[in-house]
Each structure stands twice: as structure tokens, then as C-alpha cells.
Amino acid sequence: AQKITQTQPGMFVQEKEAVTLDCTYDTSDQSYGLFWYKQPSSGEMIFLIYQGSYDEQNATEGRYSLNFQKARKSANLVISASQLGDSAMYFCAIVPSGSARQLTFGSGTQLTVLP
Amino acid sequence: GAVVSQHPSWVICKSGTSVKIECRSLDFQATTMFWYRQFPKQSLMLMATSNEGSKATYEQGVEKDKFLINHASLTLSTLTVTSAHPEDSSFYICSAREGTGGSKTEAFFGQGTRLTVV
């Protein structure tokens, strides 16, 4: 079984500053993938970034980077140079490798970017 | 990237009626699709796994006779909320992954359907 814990229900950040959204996970699988999704008020789920458990380097996608610490079972999302459009709900998710199983999501963090 | 289209994006129905929600993978074949339910300010909760050509697998506590899932082709899964009641009002969202999975296979999501039962 997998579990994702996001301990920050809400976060505020000033525009143009960086922000870190926390995510810790628990899994008995040796190989797994970690995802971050953004959900604006419209409801769509927007894929942001992926980290494989055996990837040696932290994933980066534009302004998004993932601070992956496998021993600590954490996969924090870092958003650099925040923009007003980044205000949304952010979900961390995990899926085991080798099957078409569903993602297990955390409870989410509501990020608000202040002008 | 791959696209998953969900329709309708919102629907209002009367209590006791049934509502069908469609989820289509537009440019890839999805042997497996997932249906989630999301209450306001909460996470996505998996309702069921839809398998092409076979019966859906429902999560514990989800009434399979109330939430009918049909995955008749590799590109279409439907969720029918039967005899809807106000407590069924929620945001329903589907997702699909290409091929047989593997952890790196990104899950693509539909736009979601906001159901309101009055």
C-alpha cells in the first residue's frame, strides 16, 4: 500500500519568490514514481513533474523542481519565481512501477501567490 | 501530450434521474481508466478502475449498482450515476494512462464533471 502526506493545507508566497511544498510518502514497493499535479479552481489536473525512485538526479521542469530525498521518503516541490497564476491546489501522488495501477494522492496544499 | 476528454464539464439533474459521464482518450489507447470523486477542498478519492472489455474494479464503500462503469473500447469509459441523490453531488474526474503502465507513464486527466443533484 502507498500513502502520501502533505502537511501544509495552505501556503502563501509573495510574487516572484520561491516556495517549497512538502510531500512525504510511504510505500513498500522498491520501484515507484512520484508526481506533482496542479489543480486550479477550474478543476482540471495539470501534470507538473515526475520523479522515478531510481532517478539519481532531482527532476526539473522549467520553474518546477523536485527535492527528492529517498532515505527520508520526501519529494518536495519547489516553485521558483512564483507567479499569480500559480495560485492553485497542488497534489503529490505516488504509483508503483510495473503496473497500470492508479495514483495515490495526498490531501493537497492550497497555494496562494500574493501580489 | 496525450489528451483525455471528459464530457459534460458540468451537469444539473433532478433527484432520482441518471447521469452519464464520458471519458475519452483522444490520441492513445487506454486499457485502464480510473474514476475519481472529489469533494470541495479535498483530495481525489479513487472510486473504481475501469478495464477495457471486463468488469470494473470498485473501491471499498463504492456502490457498484449506483455507479455503473462501462469500458467498451480502448478509448472510451463511461460512468453512470443511477438514481442520483443530492449527496451524489460532487466533482467527478477520470484519468487514463497509456499502455500497461510502469511508473513513469504519466496519468492524463479529463477536465472533470461537476455534478449537482437538485
* pLDDT tens, residue by residue, B84-116: 999 999 999 999 876 554 555 667 899 999 999
Residue B8 has a pLDDT of: 97
| Least Cα separation, residue A9 to chain B (angstroms) | 9
Which helix or strand (DSSP H or E) is residue A48 part of? strand A46-52
Quick count: other Cβ atoms within 10 Å of Cβ B80? 15
Q: Could A108 and B97 be called an inter-chain contact, meaning their C-beta atoms sit closer than 8 Å?
A: no
Question: Does residue A33 contact residue A23 with C-beta atoms inside 8 Å?
Answer: no
Q: Could B103 and A110 be called an inter-chain contact, meaning their C-beta atoms sit closer than 8 Å?
A: no
Helix (H, G, I), strand (E, B) or coil at A85: helix
Q: What average pLDDT does chain B have?
A: 90
pLDDT at B29 over 90: no
Give the pLDDT band of residue B74 (cuts 50, 70, 90): confident
Residue B32 has a pLDDT of: 86
| Nearest of B54, B65, B63, B69 to residue B21 by alpha carbon | B69
Q: Could B93 and A108 be called an inter-chain contact, meaning their C-beta atoms sit closer than 8 Å?
A: no
Buried b (16+ CB within 10 A) or exposed e, A68-104: beeeebbbbbbbeebeeebbbbbbbbbbbbeebbbbb
Q: Could A110 and B41 be called an inter-chain contact, meaning their C-beta atoms sit closer than 8 Å?
A: yes
Q: Could B103 and A98 be called an inter-chain contact, meaning their C-beta atoms sit closer than 8 Å?
A: yes
Distance CA A110, CA B18 (A): 33
Sort out which chain A residues have CB atoms less than 8 A from B112's CB and list them: 43-45
Q: Could A52 and B103 be called an inter-chain contact, meaning their C-beta atoms sit closer than 8 Å?
A: yes
| Least Cα separation, residue A72 to chain B (angstroms) | 20
Nearest CB to A98; choose among B44, B102, B109: B102
Give the pLDDT band of residue B54 (cuts 50, 70, 90): confident
Residue B106 has a pLDDT of: 67
Give the distance from CA A35 to its chain's centroid. 6
Residue A101 has a pLDDT of: 74
Taking any CB pair shorter than 8 Å as contact, residues of chain B touching chain A are 1, 31-32, 34, 38, 41-44, 46, 49, 91, 93, 95, 97, 99-109, 111-112, 114
Q: Beta strand pairing status for A74-79 and B19-25?
A: unpaired
Distance CA B58, CA B37 (A): 13
CB of A105 within 8 Å of any CB in chain B?
yes
| Least Cα separation, residue A89 to chain B (angstroms) | 8
| Nearest of A19, A10, A5, A91 to residue A48 by alpha carbon | A91
Give the pLDDT band of residue A97 (cuts 50, 70, 90): confident
Q: Which tops the pLDDT comparison, B62 or B1?
A: B62
Residue A105 has a pLDDT of: 95
Sort out which chain B residues have CB atoms less than 8 A from A105's CB and list them: 43-44
| Nearest of A38, A47, A36, A55 to residue A93 by alpha carbon | A36
Q: Count Cα atoms within 13 angstroms, Cβ side, for A47.
A: 21
